[in-house]
Chains A and B, each alone.
Chain A
Amino acid sequence: MNDSGLPKQPLNLKNISKPRQKRIWEAMELWDSGMTQEEIAERLGVSVRQIRYDLKDGMELLGILSQVNQEQFINWAIRFLQREIRQANRSAQLFKQENSKLGAKRLAGDFLSKLISFMQDTGLLVKVPQRISLEDFNPFEDPEFYQEYMDLMKRAREKGICKERT
């Protein structure tokens, strides 16, 4: 029941105008990024009370959507992580301090790991090699091959086929 005594209408995207839908998602994104309701209200130019309603409806819609359409949620999560990787890489390019660049690069790496784990958990990615394995088959284990390869490369350097570093 709502304040007027009428039964509450179930929330549906069709009942919400396009501009409000847009504002709801913007408010949700800003909320996720750590902004307060007051800050979001100031940013979007609406009252704090309105933002409170938007966030409440947003949470409800997200719940409905994730129940109805898991694919959509997975797409959203992937897109979110991809955007964060891009943002961190962009920051690394723009920062002037080496330490800040390094921090941004590491952040991008962390997001990439999260993305890979998420995709593995959801079954979208079957296997990602942790590192290139060179131990399985290495021809240099054979001493004859080792010696022949080194001799060949030495002859190549002497002949000038392999360029020497200056």
Chain B
Amino acid sequence: MAVPFPHPGQTLDSMLVEFHRKHGFKSPEQLLDFCEHIWGVKIPRQSVCPDHNCLSEYITAAFFEDDLDCVCWANRGGGKTMGGALVTWLDSVFKEGCETKVLGGSGEQSMKMYGHIKRTFLNQSFQHLMVGEALKTYSELNTGSTIQILTASSKSVRGPHPQKLKLDEIDEFDDKIYEAALLIPSSAKGISASTHIYSTMHKSYGLMQRVIDEAHERGFRIFKWCVLDVLENCEGRNCSECDLWEECQGRATNASGFFRIDDAIKHKRKVSSSTWASEMLCYEPSQEGLIYKEFDMALHVI
């Protein structure tokens, strides 16, 4: 008897998901191709700045658990939240019993990450993965995985201990809440505890700067990328007339990201050079608003 193809209630994408649930992923490239297809996003595969990483490095390291504790320091609009959402989705779908708690610097920030996840679950192809519907701040999957969204507060960091913790826009966190939050994840059901932190570094001497300074000591791997690493491929532009030439130096011709070059140029024109440097190029944090902008420990402290 001929088998109907696909079965009623199925789509090719739901079959693709089930195939990978059964067989896993053979290589990082296969995982990235799958993510690009299912999520409809473009994931930069290579960084263009020499000392930077790319988003794909983070996604594969996080999913295959090469690095359990990670800090993603990236530019505004650089895909940190989307990357975090994607990794959370992959963990929930492909790792049975994986519980994730997402804490945002604000309610809006938490919802932004959850929004990416929820949008995917609303797709008909993935409805079969859900237990009930995706609620406003909570989703449960038939793999036994759960995703819960919370706003960073002293109450929310106490309670159950899932394996995965995602801290989004940490520069907006209170120090004490951050410290308490680090105690949330604990290993269970064969899944190791991990903490992933995402933020720009836009405050001088802020929490993100502290996290980066202490990352090595605390066992966090830093993934850093700037606007140039996520720029779309540059074709047919005249470098000598380009406003981004100063920082780009023609490197965008090798880029494979999603950030529109025109948008980057507009942003650069709109903001001050210190904001552009800290928020988009991931240089040192902006010192705007500080009383002693030029203060330097080495120079001014005897």
Contact = CB atoms under 8 A, between A and B. Distances in A.
Interface of A: 98, 101-102, 105-106, 109, 131-141, 146, 149-150, 153-154, 157, 162-165
A2 B223 CA distance: 89
Contact of A132 (B9, B136, B258): B9
A130 B135 CA distance: 22
B243 interface: no
20 contacts: A98-B138, A101-B135, A105-B133, A106-B132, A131-B128, A131-B142, A132-B9, A132-B14, A133-B7, A134-B14, A134-B128, A137-B7, A138-B15, A138-B22, A139-B5, A139-B15, A141-B19, A150-B37, A162-B40, A163-B40
Contacts of A153: 37
A44 B42 CA distance: 66
B137 interface: yes
B79 to A, nearest CB: 11
A27 B39 CA distance: 56
Contacts of B82: 165
A10 B132 CA distance: 49
B9 A164 contact: no
Given A154-B33, A165-B41, A134 B10 contact: yes
Interface centre among A131, A132, A139, A149, by most B CB within 10 Å?
Answer: A132
Given A150-B33, A163-B40, A98 B135 contact: yes
A44 B36 CA distance: 64
A149 B135 contact: no
Contacts of A162: 40
Given A150-B33, A157-B36, A164-B41, A135 B22 contact: yes
B10 A132 contact: yes
Contacts of B239: none
Nearest to A158: B42
Interface in B175-210: none
A163 B41 CA distance: 9
A93 to B, nearest CB: 13
Contact of A109 (B7, B37, B132): B132
Contact of B18 (A134, A146, A150): A134
B16 interface: yes
A164 B42 contact: yes
B130 to A, nearest CB: 11
A17 B7 CA distance: 56
Interface in B25-51: 33-34, 36-37, 39-42
A154 B5 CA distance: 22
Nearest to B82: A165
A165 B14 contact: no
A91 B37 CA distance: 39
Contacts of B132: 105-106, 109
A135 B40 contact: no
Interface in B81-139: 82, 119, 128, 132-133, 135-138
Nearest to A108: B132
Nearest to A163: B40
Contacts of B137: 98
A77 to B, nearest CB: 24
A132 B21 CA distance: 14
B298 interface: no
B15 A134 contact: yes
A127 to B, nearest CB: 14
Interface string B129-171: 0001101111000100000000000000000000000000000
A27 to B, nearest CB: 35
Contact of B39 (A131, A139, A165): A165
Contacts of B40: 157, 162-165
A152 to B, nearest CB: 10
B80 to A, nearest CB: 15
Shortest 7 CB-CB contacts between residues of A and residues of B:
A140-B19, A134-B18, A165-B40, A132-B128, A137-B3, A153-B37, A164-B40
Contacts of A98: 135-138
B135 A138 contact: no
A154 B256 CA distance: 14
Contacts of A138: 15, 18-19, 22
